[in-house]
Amino acid sequence: MAEGKFVSSVWLKGEHSTELPIHNAVPLFATERDLVLRHKKIEIEDSLYFLEKREYLRRYGIQGWTRVAFQLSNAALEVLKAGSFTVEEQQVF
What's the domain range around 65?
6-92
DSSP 63: B
Residue 4 has pLDDT above 70, yes or no: no
Q: Sort strands 22-23 and 57-60 into parallel, antiparallel or unpaired.
A: unpaired
Residue 86 φ/ψ, nearest 5 degrees: -65, 160
- Tell me the average pLDDT of the chain: 83
Backbone angles phi, psi at 83, to 5 degrees: 90, -5
* CATH code for position 27: 1.10.10
Residue pLDDT, tens place only, 19-63: 888 888 888 888 887 787 788 888 888 888 989 998 999 998 887
Whether 1 maps to a domain, the answer reads no
* Tally of structural domains, the chain: 1
CA–CA separation, 16 vs 1, rounded Å?
28
